[in-house]
Structure 1
């Protein structure tokens, strides 16, 4: 899939690290090594799973090997899954804040000693920091995490339960966090949305939303021909999305064909 996206000229391919499927870091490394230009994002790495020093080492390694092509995202993780592996914490917000702040410091190549509620480091400094630290994105759903993303991160990842109207609301909450932190630097909003084209596209999208427990009547996702994709993209962009990740439905019969459709037919008209 990564090679197909690279060959077709797509800018980005986004992966994830849901339990208990595949490692996000390993999959991203394979995708980056198999391509020439493609940027690869992970939306997202659950921070309860990962010691911040190890996560920073992995991100630094990929950034040094593939400069400017890795887009790391972090977040709370699904709390039930975190409980299954004994990693659930009583204050996910505190953990995420401590993790992101420590990670950004380490990726700048600075030494860090900190004794937080969850993150404890004693004179930790990466021997091989990246020449240019990658931006760290935070996955967020609720208002507290959205504000935290605005305060601490370089971008926010919104999942597939966001209608264009909810994206607009989320962007407003993110901005509240940025204002509170006095931030004026760029902040990228990446939105995942289910998408289907070809025969029975609308019905397939409806089934996909139902499978995820989403309201089938909500304005979620994109289905249809190239015109429908362009129109759907416009709704999300007008609401504040900087990047729209088209996630094929689980029953997509031709993943490489889907990638070529997005790259060759949708992308030129969106640009």
Structure 2
């Protein structure tokens, strides 16, 4: 799959070419937090390590950036998530759940695996509450199942919620896939901002179609080699470029009409 299409690209703001394009101070704030609470990705970081991710939330969902060790802003996201088109209010909670901070875990010593810190805390609270309940005369066969059930729910419920939330968010990783989706997201963000600033139906409709194209492209890149789906990806990028061209013409028409309103002698086409 080629990185550049032959279709003429419209002039659009360079969204997402680096983290927090519209708010550089936010990147510095997130970078400082990452340096305090985690580790940055550098030459000493093994392939299996999990670097701290800085999530930049967008109207269509998020870009996750790593923090390079040399202090420069990254150019390619580590991960991109795309929200399902026409998401309901409940479905829009899925990205916030998936981008929460990783749970603190406690190693089990010689036993393989680990437990969430919250699970250990709930287990302790359940034990103390169970002893108090038994002391108050509540039957043991009622107290013990409840005391065991609470930490089990605390340990496994987040995984169930993760699986449910992933139905509404497609996550893409890998430099090649993220670079392509990053370019498509740049075009789509321009559509979203134009629709938000104008309120025109044509612009809102273009933004809705752009979200669908981004969702479909994420699905193509999620589980397949980009070369095998290059034709489908190029078709979606061309469609996004056409939407950007429509938005540009509509915005120019709005400007002309606004000028006509202040100069009644002119005609608005």
TM range (shorter): under 0.3
Structure with max Cα Rg: 2
Write 1 or 2 for the structure with the bigger share of helix. Answer: 2
* TM-score, L = length of structure 1: 0.23
* TM-score, L = length of structure 2: 0.24
Write 1 or 2 for the structure with the bigger share of strand. Answer: 1
> Relative contact order (alpha carbons < 8 A, sep ≥ 6): 1 or 2 greater?
2
